[in-house]
Amino acid sequence: MTTLAPSAAPALRRLYLVRFGFAVVWAILLTSTGADLNPVSVGLLVLYPVFDVAAAVVDLRSSRTSTLAVNAAVSALAAVGLAVAAAAGVPAVLRVWGAWAIVSGLVQLVVGVRRRALGGQVPMMLAGGISVLAGASFAAMAGADDPAVAGVAGYAAVGGVFFLVSALRLGRAARGN
């Protein structure tokens, strides 16, 4: 198990709050771009895993949890994959997003389990498991008659809520409540 110093909790809490804010704003922006792929929606789709890379790097620097390096690499590959997939259409984007959600969800689950002694990680473990299921759902949606990227906005918003809940629980654990 990876253990973190209690002093890492405030940094992790701040990171989770930033991730919550980003996810909610990103979901609103993606929803407002419409159902079709266009330059703005493609840019947003690529931006999300790029932000995930940055968050993983920040987290890695403060916690030294090596599994986060895997997450950063997977998210970087997802950003490139999404940029390429956008040229092929919504089904390809959903397949790449789904694969990324599955792998990053598994990583998030592992990191949450390893950090469980820190507190506030149950929401992260749940979010990781849900991400795996959502990823499979996105891959399945790619084969639908009229696939749309709108579902990924909901996925991001729900993930953001899990980050918020985890941040609040980390704050409570730090206060000893």
Q: What are the tens digits of pLDDT across the range 11-22? A: 889 999 999 999
User: Tokens standing for 19?
Assistant: 């991730």
pLDDT string in tens for the chain (177-residue length): 444 555 677 888 999 999 999 999 999 999 999 778 999 999 999 999 999 999 999 988 877 778 889 999 999 999 999 999 999 999 999 999 999 999 999 998 998 888 887 777 888 899 999 999 999 999 999 999 989 998 999 999 999 999 999 899 887 665 655
CA 170, 175, 176, 177 dihedral sign is negative
Nearest-Å Rg of the Cα atoms of the chain is 16
Compute the distance between CA of residue 132 and CA of residue 174 in angstroms, rounded to an integer: 29
Query: What residue has token string 């654990």?
Result: 173
**What is the DSSP-derived secondary structure letter of residue 35?**
S
Question: Which secondary-structure segment (H or E) carries 58?
Answer: helix 39-63
**Buried b / exposed e across 136-148, counting CB within 10 Å, b at 16+?**
eebbebbeeeebb
Q: Torsion angle of alpha carbons 26, 137, 56, 111, nearest 10°?
A: 140
Q: What is the pLDDT of residues 54-65, one digit of tens each?
A: 999 998 887 777
Select from 47, 30, 46 the least CA-distant residue to 85: 46
Across all residues in the chain, what is the average pLDDT?
89
